[in-house]
Structure 1
Amino acid sequence: MKWMIISDIHGSYDDLKKVMEIYEEEKMEKLIILGDILYHGPRNPLPEGYQPQKVINLLNQYKDKIMAVRGNCDAEVDQMVLEFPMRGDYSELYADGYRFFLTHGHLYDETHLPMLHSGDIFMYGHFHKPVLKKENGIVLLNPSSISLPKAGQKSFGVYEDGELKIVTLDKKVLQSMKLS
């Protein structure tokens, strides 16, 4: 099982296209989107390649592979054009004996966690900064932003066989962690 975890696309078709090429090359099985899909937001500059309609068309091709949560820049109208659910504030996945809690990061973050247990994995975006660490038995993963990173390079997350990674768009592994 191999998942790609992305966040904070903010309407950047160019960056999404690059990420989806990697998704295909690496034969990923699931695409997890941690919010802020189409709109750049009032605090962010327009990302390079800002073309939300092309982002819609590209993502809809993968609708059966996507699990997404709502970000603070996502709106109800976005759901009218995206063919996969993305309006929930959080979602949970269970795989390989682990519980993955997915959220954007504007309601829950590493300083305000939901009810989690030791061994759970908390995945969030919003801050546009890569994080991969374990605190109090809980693994925290923020893959950063694929379009507007605030620290470091554009990056995404990968989960495969009990290991999490943060990887740049040029496929350089920034961090990795085995879960057991």
Structure 2
Amino acid sequence: MKLFFASDLHGCLASTKKAVEAYHASGAQHFILLGDILNHGPRNPVPEAYAPAQVAELLNEYKDDIISVRGNCDSEVDQMLLDFPVLSDFAIVLLESGKRLFLTHGHLYNQDRLPPLKSGDVLAHGHTHLPVAASMGDYTLFNPGSVTLPKGGNVASYGLLEDNKLSVVSFDGDVLSETNI
């Protein structure tokens, strides 16, 4: 099974289109959204090509492929535009290997405030806009970075899980970070 991860779209249509194109090119079976889908949030600049309603329309075309969690900028109003659930603070996905992916945005659960994890689990979150794929001893930390507003001098990126390898990839195809799980 191959999974595609995107986080922190923040309502940018151009970035969302790039993410959808990368999702198609990846051949992934599922499109995981780690929150902050439609709104830019009060601490972020309004992205160029800010068009939350059109982002919703585009993502709704993939509603059967999407697994999503709520970000700190997501709300009940956003759910009214989206045809897939976005208001859960976390989701747990069981991998074929028996390991679990704990999916969350990162504002409630993160490496400083861990959710209940078993040894070998993966904590996958966005929120910081910083790409990470690293073993943390008992668990793996994964953050695909931000599709729209990368921070820390990083470029826009997304994530992939394939053959027990987590990778953060730029839209130019460069692997920014990766680890085996």
Give the TM-score normalised by the residue count of structure 2: 0.96
Stretches (4+) displaced over 4 A: none
* Conserved 8 A contact 1:48-1:147: no
Q: What SS does the corresponding residue of 1:14 show, helix, strand or coil?
A: helix
User: Per-residue CA shift, 1:27-79, capped at 9, x if unaligned?
Assistant: 21100000000000000001121111110111000000000000000011111
User: Per-residue CA shift, 1:125-172, capped at 9, x if unaligned?
Assistant: 111111111113200001111000112110111001211000001111
Q: What SS does the corresponding residue of 2:4 show, helix, strand or coil?
A: strand
Matching of residues 69-88 of structure 1 within 5 Å: 69-88=69-88
Q: Distance in 1 between matches of 2:119 and 2:47?
A: 37
Query: Does 1:163 pair with 2:165?
Result: yes
Matching of residues 29-40 of structure 1 within 5 Å: 29-40=29-40
The equivalent residue for 1:18 is 18
Q: Distance in 2 between matches of 1:26 and 1:132?
A: 18
Letter in 1 for 2:85: P
Q: What SS does the corresponding residue of 1:80 show, helix, strand or coil?
A: helix
Q: Where do 5+ consecutive residues of structure 2 fail to align?
A: none
Percent identical among aligned pairs is 48
Q: Where do 5+ consecutive residues of structure 1 fail to align?
A: none
The equivalent residue for 2:118 is 117
Letter in 2 for 1:139: T
Give the TM-score normalised by the residue count of structure 1: 0.97
Q: Distance in 1 between matches of 2:177 and 2:106?
A: 20
Letter in 1 for 2:168: I
The equivalent residue for 2:65 is 65
Query: Does 1:153 pair with 2:151?
Result: no
